[in-house]
Amino acid sequence: MNRKFLITWVGVFVLTAATSIIWHVALFEQRYLELGVFTRMADPIYAFGFLAWIMEATAITLLYVHSKWADHGLWGALKLSWCVSLYAAASALVGTAAKVEISDLTGWFLIAGGFIFLHATVLAAWLAFSPRAKA
């Protein structure tokens, strides 16, 4: 791992943590509780959240630096990040709706989908303008 890769990874990690905390806790915690989707908000397992951020940062950084999309600037970063987010949306957003009784499915899709889209876009911007890292 070289210095540029580490800088890119740290940026992705920080942005992932920041967007997650701002979106899920500062802006929409009450809405998540109303939807009945997140039942551990009063007593979360912080280690799992931290591990999720590490895994997300590692996966998106590795995928980006090893893809040809890294050569296409912001548009390439957006395409990669949005494609990865489609997978996340399918497995987390739609999968959760299939398994959990949610009081307002439209609200769930809007709030969770909005986060996934925003998060992917922020990460893509960082990836496109971070040092040209290669693992």
Decide: 15 and 115 in contact? Cβ < 8 Å: no
Please state, in angstroms and rounded to a whole number, the distance separating the CA atoms of residues 46 and 13: 15
pLDDT tens for residues 76-118?
Answer: 999 999 999 999 888 889 998 999 899 999 999 999 999 999 9
Neighbouring C-beta atoms of residue 46, cutoff 10 Å: 8
Nearest to 35 by CA among 95, 85, 125, 109: 109
Greatest C-alpha distance within the chain = 47
pLDDT at 79: 95
The 10 Å CB-count burial string (b at 16+, else e) for 83-95 is ebbeebbeeebee
Full-prediction pTM beyond 0.85?
Answer: yes
